Copies of this chain bind each other. A is one copy, B any other.
Amino acid sequence: MKDKMLAVVKTRPELGGTELKEVPVPKTGPNDVLVKVKICSICGTDVHIYNWDRWAQNRIKVPLLYGHEFAGEIVETGQNVEHLQAGDYVSGECHVFCGYCYQCQTGMRHICAHCRIFGVDTDGIFAEYARIPAQNIWKNDPNLPLEYATVQDPLGNSVHTVFSTDVPSKNVVILGAGPTGLFATAVCKTIGASQIFVVGHKNEYRINLAKKVGATKVFKEGDDIEGAIMDATDGQGADVALEFTGNSEAVNLGLNLLKIGGTIALLGVFPKEFTTDLTKNFVFKYTTMKGINGRLIWDTWYQMKGLFKAGLDIEPVITHKFKFEEFIKAMETMRSGNSGKVVLYMK
């Protein structure tokens, strides 16, 4: 194995401060594995780091090798690692959990009180090799396509959100037609949602993708969304709303579209405050609202494995494919909004 590798590094605290450069291949710690990355993909979080927005300025310490969505092959295992082997085809869960806090000890490792995220708080996977804690490794089915394997992290967000509500046979509103909203649409389709209403923004590109992955109806700004959904649900409203935009106003829209006794789940991150009428939207409407974060470790991953066998089709969402060396071009595609997921292949 060589000593140096190509990696994407945020080297300077500014937009434009991302470089592809040679860095040392990381050493495998006793509880880690070293993975030869074969494919990786770009998350919204990576865009924040690239853009060096307020969130990134507060959270990220440069230099940082970023990225956390990948699939690859184990090339080395640490001395304490017994359940994995070189040659295993793997992906990874980016939430590094402590294992001993209350949440970790009660089946809630995804919300570990001391959670750190690789590619955000520590070095990530936009590189030829990545060192990953063995506890965070997921063994892929050998015949899972690389493009499906690398997006399990964001797909897992969507699966977690969908499965935190009751979707089979029910009417669902999906707020947001970005990658997680599109994945959620495909998942709802696979598990028998009655009708799936996707509310996009103005982006025709993504609205078209929503139709491809199973939306019953697609709306954009300016449409009579409430009228249409009430009509389509015998005047009751949707059973479930799933929020993927991070726009506080979308939450109020979702609440408004719900039936009495409905559920809304929120995956987005909200830059602005949320203001609502609790009496109307919650108490008299008997509404449940759930904040969602990450993916259940490993329940959600097993659910994805099952859904792939059930025929979950996310291919339309994987819209762009680049060589790893074209990272900047890939990132600019992602930033344009005219994309679903963008994946990059290592040599």
A interface residues, Cβ below 8 angstroms from B: 30, 80, 83, 98-100, 102-103, 105-108, 111, 113, 163, 167-171, 190-195, 234, 236, 248, 251, 259-261, 266-270, 273-279, 281-293, 296-299, 302-307, 309-312
How often does this chain occur in the complex, in copies? Answer: 4
Give the chain B neighbours of A111 by CB distance below 8 A. Answer: 260-261, 286
A196 nearest in chain B by CB position: B310
Report whether A83 and B102 are in contact in the complex, using a CB–CB cutoff of 8 Å. Answer: no
The answer to whether A102 and B293 have CB atoms under 8 Å apart is no
Having A106-B298, A193-B306, A270-B277, one finds 7 other A-B pairs with CB under 8 Å, namely A102-B236, A111-B286, A169-B302, A192-B312, A266-B283, A274-B278, A289-B289
Decide yes or no: A269 and B279 within 8 Å by CB, A292-B286, A307-B169 being known contacts: yes
Q: Chain B residues with Cβ under 8 A from A267's Cβ? A: 283
Question: Which residue of chain B has the shortest Cβ distance to A168 in the bound complex?
Answer: B191
Residues in B with CB closer than 8 Å to A236 are: 102, 113
8 Å CB contact of A190 from B192, B297, B303? B192
Q: How far is the CA of A169 from the CA of B170 in the complex (A)?
A: 17
A299 and B107 form a contact (CB under 8 A): yes
A195 to B305, CA, bound (A): 11
Q: List 6 A-B contacts (CB under 8 A).
A: A113-B260, A169-B302, A169-B306, A251-B278, A286-B291, A287-B291
